[in-house]
């Protein structure tokens, strides 16, 4: 009785039972199952982390490929100058390798004019009568220049440069006020005040903000109200007409840079000369002779190839450690024997091992040809001699080996771009209709000289569907000179320039012809009026341009201007080529290849994509981990349920034993009192307890 | 149960119950044992107010005592079987508590 109630209040004390043995034999199986679930989950978790490491190794490798995927990285030339104090040079796409002798005889320069000195920068000049100063820009030619003053010269206004106007009145009629007004107008003239130390030391100096001989200034003063005279003191200080009164003195003449490139004369309005050498920009610093050398950027390519090899080796060693076998089991990789990793590794190797599809017979087509090869341990190595040979002898083909590129056999056909679905291959280019330019030809035959004045100097025209009006600078022109003047007025027009449209104006027998520099159906020229229209052009014959038409590899294309684009759904989908010239029919072959970098990059995109091998592998791992987590939760719940069942049974049984005791006490009492022989009763009780100890 | 015959047959009924209880304990049918014990207790409780009032002759008293001894004998055997099982349950519960305490201390390593 006491041992039973003791169990309730203080379970197990004095029971003498082997507690540990009971725990081991009864609870351990349940615990074992939980431990097993946990270790399974841990193992899947490790595999999942390993896939994460693989993903990041693949992503790093892919980013290292991006510089190799871009052909401009390879085709880029380096430009160098033998004397960087005379000229520096930078190369862009389109540059050719070579040596160029550059002789700079004159730098481009902006005109500077200096006014007469005054005593103070803040004293008023004149009476404050509102006076408009107008600054025109143009070219001074002829005559003589002596002590900063022209005589007998002429001035041709630069139609492409807007005139600058400022008003001087009683609010700003000091030297400082005039300088401030000109600078605030921000119209191509910089005003500064110079102190020359003389008795009237302050001189206003005006400098054109642009270099070039067509940026000389002509300054006139007029009444700001439109009637009456300008203030005579302002007019007398600042008027400047190179063909007449020059109140200011020229301290620097506007001039173009003059240079020769390989003996050919070049003039440039600025000291940055683009186009004198194709694809090369020259920056002129002083007069003198230097040699500019453009060369293949071999150092850049060599380092790009070495970078590729080292990026692959980084990926390779990451995969090696993830799939390592170690007989002790200590350093075994989590992905040892994993089929997804094997697939990825095999596919990448297979790309690198096989010749590149789509490159021509004579071109480089394998990595081993440029000295990149597999070593016994699966890493790549570079044979620098072989690579240098390839760089020296096959430089342009290196681009196709690594980058997505197209090369054409016809020099007037060029590769512009491709889409992800363009397939590598050699495609015949066939042109059924060459692209043409829109044009307008006039009916008026111009004489030997044409005078342009205020009555015949405007033309209204539409170029490539954009309309504007142009003004021809006043002057006397031959037919050729007029064609040139109109061409520069149109090409200097901001409306046309903003639309990217330019025109070429030619004359034949005194008849002007306007040709849009654009090709295709969007190319057109027409005239709508202007005061010079009837006398300079007359009626026009207009021709709208035609888009190119043809096939690439026999597949349909769409033509826009000179550009053919492969039709969607074909092998050449998205392939873009430009075809120049008027020849129709066969135009040679285009070899289109996706270089190793491009192939690998799109393959890795495939692995990492939402339906890629890696994603499905990690998705299934995540599912397994989720179900193992649920199994653990379920098993925990079952263990708790088991425990609750035990607890209920314990409580009920404990109460039952307690009740048994109380009932048997009663029965023992009955036995004791009714017999009157207590010994018989205790004897029976003794046998009962004796059996209890035995049991 | 005012007659001796009725009283003795009531005792026999009780003895039958304890026999069934012993069988249940031997079979490990602890829920059965708990159920039978309630009936057993109820029968004994019915007995208590009348037991001393019923006149018994010597042979009847001897029969009654023999039945009580059988009952007490079964009762002792039942406890011999139930007590170790109670200990066993006690250990199970203690180990569950230990496991829970460990989980609370170290968190659920999932």
Q: What is the rounded CA–CA span in Å between residue A334 and residue A658?
A: 59
Mean pLDDT value across chain A: 86
- pLDDT value, residue A69: 75
The whole-angstrom distance between A668's CA and the closest CA on chain B is 8
Find the residue in A nearest to B18 (Cα): A660
A428-446 pLDDT per residue, tens: 999 999 999 999 999 999 9
- pLDDT value, residue A684: 36
User: Are A26 and B68 within 8 A, CB to CB?
Assistant: no
Query: Which residues of chain A neighbour B75 with C-beta distances below 8 Å?
Result: 660, 663-664, 667, 688
User: Are A685 and B65 within 8 A, CB to CB?
Assistant: no
Query: Which residues of chain B neighbour A647 with C-beta distances below 8 Å?
Result: 93
Check the CA dihedral A562-A563-A567-A573 and report its sign.
positive
Long-range pairs for A468-471 at CB < 8 Å and ≥24 separation? A468/A493, A468/A495, A468/A496, A469/A530, A470/A159, A470/A530, A471/A159
Q: What is the rounded CA–CA span in Å between residue A565 and residue B104?
A: 68
Range 51-70 of B in CB contact (< 8 A) with A? 51-52, 56, 61, 64-65, 68-69
Residue A194 phi/psi, 5-degree rounding, is: -110, 140
Q: What is the rounded CA–CA span in Å between residue A415 and residue A422?
A: 13
User: Are A674 and B69 within 8 A, CB to CB?
Assistant: no
Query: Which residues of chain A neighbour B94 with C-beta distances below 8 Å?
Result: 11-12, 19
Q: What is the rounded CA–CA span in Å between residue A245 and residue A634?
A: 105
User: Are A12 and B87 within 8 A, CB to CB?
Assistant: yes
Q: What is the pLDDT along chain B (110 residues), one digit of tens a residue?
A: 678 899 999 999 999 999 999 999 998 888 899 999 999 999 999 988 888 888 889 999 999 999 999 999 999 999 998 888 888 777 766 666 665 555 555 544 43
Domain ranges of chain B: 3-108
| Coil vs helix vs strand at A299 | helix
| Coil vs helix vs strand at B16 | helix
DSSP summary character for residue A446: P
Nearest C-alpha neighbor of A183 from the set A249, A148, A135: A135
Name beta bridge partners: A106. A258
Q: What is the rounded CA–CA span in Å between residue B86 and residue A523?
A: 103
DSSP for A123-153, written as a single string: S--S----EEEEEEEEEEESSEEETTEEES-
User: Are B65 and A674 within 8 A, CB to CB?
Assistant: yes
Angle CA A190–A195–A200, to nearest 5: 115
- Architecture in CATH for domain B3-108: Up-down Bundle (1.20)
Name beta bridge partners: A135. A164, A219
DSSP summary character for residue A25: I
Q: What is the rounded CA–CA span in Å between residue A201 and residue A194?
A: 8
Residue A384 phi/psi, 5-degree rounding, is: -65, -30
Nearest C-alpha neighbor of A307 from the set A71, A63, A122: A63
Which segments within A314-424 are labelled E, that is strand? 372-374, 380-382, 405-408, 413-417
Q: In chain A, which residues have pLDDT < 50? A: 1-25, 675-695
Question: How big is chain B by its Cα radius of gyration, in Å?
Answer: 21
User: Are B80 and A692 within 8 A, CB to CB?
Assistant: yes
Query: A73 to each of A305, A534, A577, B61, B65, how far by Cα in Å?
Result: 11, 54, 20, 119, 114
- pLDDT value, residue A375: 92
Nearest C-alpha neighbor of A572 from the set A552, A600, A597: A552
| Coil vs helix vs strand at A276 | strand
Half-sphere exposure of A502 (CA within 13 A, CB side): 7
A345-374 pLDDT per residue, tens: 999 999 999 888 877 666 788 999 999 999
The whole-angstrom distance between B35's CA and the closest CA on chain A is 9
**What pTM, to 2 d.p., does this model score?**
0.55
User: Are A649 and B78 within 8 A, CB to CB?
Assistant: no
Query: Which residues of chain A neighbour B86 with C-beta distances below 8 Å?
Result: 4, 7, 650, 653-654, 657
Query: A200 to each of A120, A121, A149, A168, A248, how far by Cα in Å?
Result: 8, 10, 21, 22, 15
User: Are A656 and B65 within 8 A, CB to CB?
Assistant: no
User: Are A649 and B31 within 8 A, CB to CB?
Assistant: yes
User: Are B94 and A12 within 8 A, CB to CB?
Assistant: yes
Which positions ≥6 away from A128 have C-beta within 8 Å? A169, A170, A171, A173, A231
- pLDDT value, residue A331: 81
How is residue A466 written in tokens? 């954009």
Put simply, whether B1 touches A (Cβ < 8 Å) is no
Helix (H) or strand (E) holding A591: strand A585-593
The whole-angstrom distance between B101's CA and the closest CA on chain A is 13
Put simply, whether B26 touches A (Cβ < 8 Å) is no
């Amino acid at each position: 009785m006491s041992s039973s109630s003791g169990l309730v209040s203080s379970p197990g004390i004095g029971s003498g039972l082997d507690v540990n043995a009971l725990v081991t034999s009864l609870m351990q199986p349940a615990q074992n199952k939980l431990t097993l679930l946990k270790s399974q989950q841990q193992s899947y978790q490790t595999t999942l982390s390993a896939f994460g490491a693989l993903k990041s190794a693949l992503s790093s490798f892919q980013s290292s490929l991006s510089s190799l995927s871009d052909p401009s990285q390879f085709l880029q030339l380096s430009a160098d100058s033998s004397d960087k104090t005379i000229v520096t040079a930078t190369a862009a796409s389109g540059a050719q390798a070579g040596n160029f002798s550059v002789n700079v005889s004159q730098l481009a320069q902006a005109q500077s004019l200096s006014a007469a000195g005054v005593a103070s920068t803040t004293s008023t000049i004149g009476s404050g009568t509102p006076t408009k100063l107008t600054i025109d820009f143009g070219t001074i030619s002829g005559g003589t220049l002596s002590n900063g003053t022209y005589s007998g010269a002429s001035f041709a206004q630069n139609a492409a440069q807007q005139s600058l106007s400022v008003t001087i009145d009683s609010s700003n009629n000091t030297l400082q006020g005039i300088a401030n007004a000109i600078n605030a107008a921000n119209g191509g003239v910089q005003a500064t005040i110079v102190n020359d130390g003389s008795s009237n030391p302050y001189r206003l100096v005006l400098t054109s903000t642009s270099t070039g001989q067509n940026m000389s200034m002509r300054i006139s003063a007029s009444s700001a109200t439109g009637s009456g005279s300008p203030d005579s003191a302002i007019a007398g200080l600042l008027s400047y007409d190179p063909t007449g009164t020059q109140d200011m003195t020229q301290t620097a003449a506007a001039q173009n840079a003059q240079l020769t490139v390989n003996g050919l004369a070049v003039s440039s309005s600025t000291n940055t000369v683009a186009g004198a050498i194709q694809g090369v920009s020259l920056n002129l610093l002083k007069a003198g002779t230097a040699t500019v050398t453009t060369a293949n950027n071999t150092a850049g390519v060599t380092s790009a190839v070495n970078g590729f090899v080292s990026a692959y080796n980084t990926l390779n060693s990451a995969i090696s450690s993830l799939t390592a076998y170690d007989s002790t089991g200590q350093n075994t990789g989590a992905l040892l024997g994993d089929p997804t990793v094997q697939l990825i590794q095999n596919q990448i190797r297979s790309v690198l091992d096989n010749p590149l599809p789509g490159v021509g017979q004579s071109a480089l087509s394998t990595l081993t040809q440029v000295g990149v090869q597999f070593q016994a341990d699966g890493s790549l190595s570079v044979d620098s001699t072989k690579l240098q040979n390839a760089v020296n002898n096959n430089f342009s083909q290196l681009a196709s080996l690594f980058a997505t590129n197209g090369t054409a056999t016809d020099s007037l056909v060029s590769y512009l771009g491709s889409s992800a679905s363009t397939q590598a291959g050699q495609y015949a280019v066939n042109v059924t209709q060459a692209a043409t330019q829109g044009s307008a030809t006039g009916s008026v035959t111009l004489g030997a000289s044409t005078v342009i004045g205020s009555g015949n100097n405007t033309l209204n025209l539409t170029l490539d569907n954009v309309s504007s009006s142009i003004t021809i600078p006043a002057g006397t022109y031959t037919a050729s000179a007029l064609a040139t003047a109109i061409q520069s007025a149109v090409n200097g027009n901001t409306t046309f320039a903003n639309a990217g449209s330019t025109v070429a104006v030619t004359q034949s027998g005194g008849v002007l012809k306007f040709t849009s520099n654009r090709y295709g159906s969007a190319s057109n020229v027409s005239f709508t009026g202007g005061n010079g229209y009837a006398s300079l052009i007359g009626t026009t014959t207009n021709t709208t341009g035609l888009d190119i038409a043809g096939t690439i590899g026999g597949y349909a294309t769409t033509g826009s201007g000179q550009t053919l684009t492969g039709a969607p759904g074909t092998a050449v989908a998205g392939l873009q080529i430009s075809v120049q010239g008027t020849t129709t029919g066969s135009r040679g072959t285009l070899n289109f290849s996706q270089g190793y970098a491009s192939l690998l990059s799109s393959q890795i995109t495939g692995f990492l994509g939402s339906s890629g091998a890696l994603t499905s592998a990690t998705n299934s791992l995540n599912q397994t981990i989720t179900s193992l987590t649920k199994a653990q939760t379920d098993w925990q719940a079952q263990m708790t349920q088991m425990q609750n069942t035990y607890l209920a049974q314990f409580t009920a049984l404990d109460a039952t034993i307690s009740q048994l005791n109380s009932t048997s006490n009663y029965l023992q009492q009955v036995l004791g009192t009714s017999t009157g022989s207590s010994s018989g009763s205790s004897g029976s009780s003794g046998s009962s307890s004796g059996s209890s100890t035995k049991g | 149960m005012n007659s001796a015959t009725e009283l003795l047959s009531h005792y026999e009924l009780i003895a039958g119950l304890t026999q069934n209880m012993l069988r249940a304990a031997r079979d490990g049918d602890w829920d059965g044992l708990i159920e039978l014990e309630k009936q057993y207790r109820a029968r004994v409780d019915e007995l208590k107010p009348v037991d001393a009032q019923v006149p018994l002759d010597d042979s009847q008293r001897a029969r009654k005592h023999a039945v009580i001894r059988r009952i007490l004998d079964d009762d002792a055997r039942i406890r011999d079987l139930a007590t170790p099982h109670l200990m066993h349950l006690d250990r199970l519960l203690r180990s569950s508590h230990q496991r829970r305490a460990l989980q609370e201390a170290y968190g659920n390593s999932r």
